[in-house]
Amino acid sequence: MDVCREVAEKYPEVDVDDYHIDAMAAHLVRRGGDFDVIVTENMFGDILSDLTGELAGSLGIAPSINTSKTQAMAQAAHGSAPDIEGKNIANPIGMMHSTVMLFEWLAKKHDDERLTRVARKMEESIARTIHRNIVTPDLGGSATTSSFAEAVCAEVANDTEV
């Protein structure tokens, strides 16, 4: 917290607040839109990211990216979900959006607008697929992991703008 406040002094336009984990969980449920960035230790971050994923509709849609100045790793926020392994029902949106975030990071790191366009194309293709009501069971649909991914790929292929 001391380091966070020290850095915050350099950015007076940014509001920095301190909440206990239980209060923060309640704030996210009541007024999640009020928060842009939440800095926390790993365990509390895992708890809050799972909560926000579910608040958004499903844990399966929550993306994640871990970065430094030189390296990045994209992953879905939900983990491996061993209870649904091999059932072809996992929601791939979280991993797909994590990949979008990775392309955005790479675009910025390498100052490459083409990577930004790829990220936008992926993101828009995912949105169009969802808009067509092709979604996995966790979102009330009947698509499998594979059929959702195939539908997104078809959207990407049909998008002629890059």
Tally of domains within the chain = 1
Give domain status of residue 72, yes or no: no
The sign one gets for the Cα dihedral 81, 87, 92, 98 is positive
Question: Using one digit for the tens of pLDDT, what is the confidence trace for 46-58?
Answer: 899 889 989 988 8
Give domain status of residue 154, yes or no: yes
Higher-confidence position of 43 and 81: 43
Question: Using one digit for the tens of pLDDT, what is the confidence trace for 127-136?
Answer: 999 999 999 9
Give domain status of residue 151, yes or no: yes
Q: Which domain holds residue 151?
A: 83-162
Give domain status of residue 5, yes or no: no
Q: Does 114 score more than 70 pLDDT?
A: yes
Give domain status of residue 126, yes or no: yes
Give domain status of residue 92, yes or no: yes
Residue 109, C-beta contacts closer than 8 angstroms, at least 6 positions apart: 72
Global pTM reads 0.83
